Structure 1
Amino acid sequence: METNRKRARLIYNPTSGQEIIKKNIAEVLDVLEDVGYETSAFQTTPEPFSAQTEAERAAKAGFELIIAAGGDGTINEVVNGVANLENRPKLAFIPTGTTNDYARALKIPMGDPVAAARIIEKNQTIKMDIGRAYGEKYFINIAAAGTLTELTYSVPSEVKSRLGYLAYVAKGAEMLPKIKQRPVRIEHDHGVFEGQVSLIFVGLTNSIAGFEQLAPDAKLDDGNFTLILVKTAKVFDMLSLIIQAMNGGQHVTDSNVEYLKTSKLTLEVLDPDNPFMLNLDGEYGGDTPVTLEVLKNHLEFFVNMDEISNDALSEEGGN
C-alpha cells in the first residue's frame, strides 16, 4: 500500500465562467491523482472569503498543493489565504473566469480545465512575486486607480459571465468622457512624482485587463512593480494611448505616460476629499492613501514554462 502521498486541495468556484469546472471535475481529480497527489475538492460558497478561508485552512493542515479553479478573483482569494503563512504550499491555477489575466501571464490553457490541470504534470514551477497593500491585502497581478478602473465595480457579474470582456469594453467606452485627473504624490524607489494623473497601474505581470502589452517588459520574479501613470484625461489622448498599447506597447514612451520600475511605492491624493478607490486584481481593495510593496519570489506556482517568454523572467528563472 502506498504511503506518504502528497495531498492536494482543489478549491473551485462552481459559478465561474460558464460553470465549466463542474463538467470536468472528475477528470481534473484523475489528472492530479495520476501526478501523485491524493486530492480532495472544496466548492466555494457565496459566503465572503469562502476560497480564502479554505485556502488558509488547507495550508495550515499541511496540504502540499492548492489548486484554485475560477477567475482572477478566486486565485486572489487563495493567495490571500496563504500569503501571510510561514509554511506556504505550492499553488496551481485552473482558469475558468472572464478575463484570466493571471492565466495569460503564466500561459495556462483557458477554457479547458483538464489541459490546465495537466500543466502540473510538467512539474515546472516559478517562485513568483506578489504585491501587498495596506500591510495585509495581497494581489498577484495589478493594483490600479482611476475612473476607468472603477468600472470593474459597476459591471454586474451576470453580465460579465454572459458577455465576458466585451462587458468591460462597452462600459469603458461609456466612461471615457467622464475621466478626470487628480493631483497625486507618489514616492517610489527613484524619487517622488507630484502631478495630475487620471489613471494609475501598478503591475506585476505583463497581462493587465486583457492587454498583454501594457507592461511589455514586466518580469514575474524580479522584485519590481511596473508603475504606469497616465497624465492626460482627454478622450483623444486616451484613445491614442490604447491604440499604442495594442500596437506593441508603444505607449511607454508617450509624453502623457510616466513608466518606471519600483519595489515599493506610497500613493496619496493631494485632494483628501476626492481619494482614489484602489482596484486590487479587479476588486475594490480600499481608498488612498496606500503603500504598496513587492514580496519577491514569495509563492511557488506551477506554470507552463515552455510557453513563457524568457523576457518575462529574471536571470534565475524558474525550476
Structure 2
Amino acid sequence: MRARLIYNPTSGHEIMPNNVGGILDILEQAGYEASAFRTTADQNSAKNEATRAAKAGFELIVAAGGDGTINEVVNGIAGLDKRPQLAIIPAGTTNDYARALKIPREDPIEAAKVVLNKTYLPMDIGKANDTYFMNIAAGGSMTELTYEVPSALKSVLGYLAYLVKGAEMLPRIKPTKMKIEYDDGEYDGEASMFFIAMTNSVGGMEQIVPDQQFSDGLFTLIVIKTSNLKEILHLIALALNGGRHVDNDKIIYSNTRKIKITPEDNEKLMINLDGEYGGDAPVVFTNLQQHIDIYANTDELKNSISKDVLIENEKVNNEEK
C-alpha cells in the first residue's frame, strides 16, 4: 500500500518541515510505502496533488497543515468515484477538524500515530454548489473576521488573533436580508450570520453545536436573527455556558440534509467554507453522507458517533487488525 503526505510548510509556526521524516517513518510502520509532497504558493497546489495521488492509486493521503490545507485536499478527492482514505496532521491556527476528531494537536508525530491504530470513520462531506467542505460553512457580517485577520497575526497569536479581531468587529455587525430554505421550514428575513456545522468544533469551541453526530447525513443549521450587540453577546454567553443558546428565540437551530441560501434586495453575501472564501450566494448545500473514510481517535468519540456506524467501524477495524 502507498501513502502520500501532502504538507503545507508555512502552516502555523512552520513546524512541518522538521517533522516530515518522522511522519514518514510512522506511515512505514503502519505498512505503507510513504512519500511526501511539499505544497507551493501555486493556487490549488494541495488540491491538485491530492487528485493526482488518488488517481495514481494511493490508498492513503495524509493532509498536514491548517483547516485550509485539509479543505484543499478534501476538494481534490471528494469528487472522485474512487477515494483514498484520509488522515490529518494538524499544523494550523485553530485546527477545528482535528479537534473534532480528537487528533493530537500539539505534536505532528503523535497525530501521525493515529494511523497506527487503523481506526477511521466514514465522515460526511458538505457540498456548496460545486465546492466541498468538511467542517463549517457560514455567511453574514459576523463571518467577515476570518477574512480580515492577517496571516502574520494568526501565526504569532494563533486563535487569540480571531478573538482580538472579533472584539474589534462586533460593533460593526449589521443584518443581511436572506432567504433560507431547509428540511423543516423556511426563513425569510434579516440575519447577522448563518452557519452550517458538520462537527461539534466551530472556531475552537465545542459548545456551539453540542448535539452534533458524525456520519448521520445531517448538517446543523444555526441562523442568528439579531444584529443587536447586547443580544449577540448574550447568545455567546449562553453558548459558552453549556450550549444553552439552542433554544433561544433569536436563533434558528435545526438539523437538515439540504439548505438553500438566497440573498435578497441585491445584497452581496459571501460564503465562507472551512475558514476560506468560497464564492457568493445563492448557494445550495448538500450533505454527502459517509463520503470519505477519515482516521480518528474513535475511543474518545463514542458520544459523537451514531451507534450503527460505531458498530460497523469497530467490525471493519477488528478485521483489518
For 1:17, what is the secondary structure of its paired residue? coil
Q: Does 1:182 align with 2:176?
A: yes
Deviations 1:127-146 (A, max 9, x none): 00010011x10000000011
Residue number in structure 2 paired with 1:3: none
1:193 aligns with 2:187: yes
Unpaired segments ≥5 residues, structure 1: 1-5
Corresponding residue for 1:21? Answer: 16
- Report 1:162-311 matches (<5 A): 162-272=156-266, 274-308=267-301, 310-311=302-303
Q: State the Cα distance separating 1:275 from its structure 2 match.
A: 2.1
Measured in 1, the distance between the counterparts of 2:133 and 2:243 equals 23
SS of equivalent residue, structure 1 residue 217: coil
Residues 1:313 and 2:305 are matched in the alignment: yes
- Size of the aligned set, in residue pairs, is 311
Moved more, 137-146 or 178-187: 178-187
Amino acid at match of 2:295: F
Q: Which letter maps to 1:194?
A: D
Offset at residue 271 of structure 1 (A): 1.6
Residues 1:67 and 2:62 are matched in the alignment: yes
After TM superposition, give the deviation of residue 39 of structure 1 in Å.
0.1
Q: Aligned-residue CA RMSD in angstroms?
A: 0.9
**1:92 maps to which residue?**
87
Task: Output the CA distance in 2 between the equivalents of 1:145 and 1:72.
Answer: 18
Q: CA deviation at 1:191?
A: 2.1
1:58 corresponding residue in structure 2? 53
- Whether the 8 Å CA contact 1:182–1:271 is kept in 2: the answer is no
SS in 2 for 1:168: helix
1:317, 1:99 → 2: CA distance?
27
Matched, 1:138 2:132: yes
SS in 1 for 2:104: coil
**In 2, distance between residues paired with 1:266 and 1:311?**
29
1:311 CA drift (Å): 2.8
Aligned partner letter, 1:269:
P
- 8 Å contact from structure 1 (residues 217, 311) kept in 2: no
Take 2:67 and 2:200, find their aligned partners in 1: how far apart are those partners?
15
Q: Which residue of structure 1 aligns with residue 150 of structure 2?
A: 156
Asked if the contact 1:7/1:39 (under 8 Å) is kept, the reply is yes
Shift of 1:315: 2.3
Q: Distance in 2 between matches of 1:197 and 1:244?
A: 18
Question: Which of 29, 32, 50 in structure 2 is aligned with 1:34?
Answer: 29
Deviation beyond 6 Å, 4+ runs, structure 1: none
Find the residue that maps to 1:42 and give its secondary structure. strand
Q: Is the Cα–Cα contact under 8 Å of residues 9 and 65 in structure 1 kept in the other structure?
A: yes
- Tell me if structure 2 keeps the 8 A contact 1:267–1:288: yes
Amino acid at match of 1:39: A
Task: State the TM-score, normalized to the length of structure 2.
Answer: 0.95
Deviation at 1:317, TM superposition (A): 2.4
Q: In the aligned structure 2, how far is the partner of 1:142 from the partner of 1:300?
A: 18
- Give the aligned residue type for 2:97: Y
SS, match of residue 261 in structure 1: strand
Q: 1:49 aligns with which of 44, 55, 67?
A: 44
CA distance in 2, matches of 1:11, 1:35: 17
Gaps of 5+ in 2: 314-321
CA–CA distance in 2 between the matches of 1:74 and 1:62?
A: 21
Task: Return the offset for 1:244.
Answer: 1.1
Q: Distance in 1 between matches of 2:268 and 2:253?
A: 22
Distance in structure 2 (CA, Å) of the matches to 1:122 and 1:243: 38
Give 1:215's aligned amino acid.
Answer: V
Residues 214-250 of structure 1: CA distance to partner in whole angstroms, max 9, x if unpaired?
1111111100000000011111111111111111111
Q: Would you say 1:112 and 2:107 are equivalent positions? A: yes
Q: % of aligned pairs identical?
A: 55
SS in 1 for 2:80: coil
Q: TM-score, normalised by structure 1?
A: 0.96
Shift of 1:123: 0.7
Q: Kindly provide the CA deviation profile for residues 176-223 of structure 1, in whole angstroms up to 9, marking residues without a partner as x.
A: 111111222111111211121111011100101111111111111100
Deviation digits for residues 145-167 of structure 1, max 9, x if unmatched?
11121111111111111111111
Deviation sequence 1:262-307 (CA, Å, 0-9, x none): 10011111222x2211000000001111100000000000100011
